[in-house]
Amino acid sequence: MDEAIPTRPLRTGSRIPTIGLGTFGSDRYSPDDVAAAVRGGLEAGYRLVDCASVYGNEAEVGAAIAASGVPRDDLFVMSKVWNDAHAPSDAVASVHRSLEDLRVEHLDAVFVHWPFPNHHPPHASVADRDRTARPYDHAAYLALWRALEGLVDEGIVRHLGTSNTTIPKLQRLLDDARVLPSLNEMELHPTFQQPALFDYCLTHAIQPVGYSPLGSPSRPDRDREDDDPVDVDDPVVRRIARAHGVHPVVVCLKWAVARGQIPIPFSVKPEQYRANLAGALTDPLSDDELRAMAEVDRGSRLIKGQVFLWQDAASWHDLWDEDGTIAGGRG
Cα torsion through 321, 326, 329, 331, rounded to 10: 150
Q: Count Cβ atoms below 10 Å from residue 232 Cβ, excluding itself.
A: 19
Closest CA to 167 of 302, 327, 295, 328: 327
Q: Which of 202, 177, 166, 209 is nearest to 76 (CA)?
A: 209
Q: CA 55 to CA 8: how far, in whole Å?
A: 26
Query: Which element (helix H / strand E) includes 48?
Result: strand 48-50
| Residue of 55, 136, 211, 273 marked active site | 55
By the 10 Å C-beta count (0-12 exposed, 13-18 middle, 19+ buried), 15 is classed as middle
Indicate if 46 belongs to the active site.
no
Spell out the residues 6+ positions from residue 215 whose beta carbon is closer than 8 angstroms to its own.
Answer: 189, 190, 191, 192, 229, 230, 231, 232, 252, 302
Q: Report the SS3 class of residue 208.
A: strand
Residues annotated catalytic, as ranges: 55
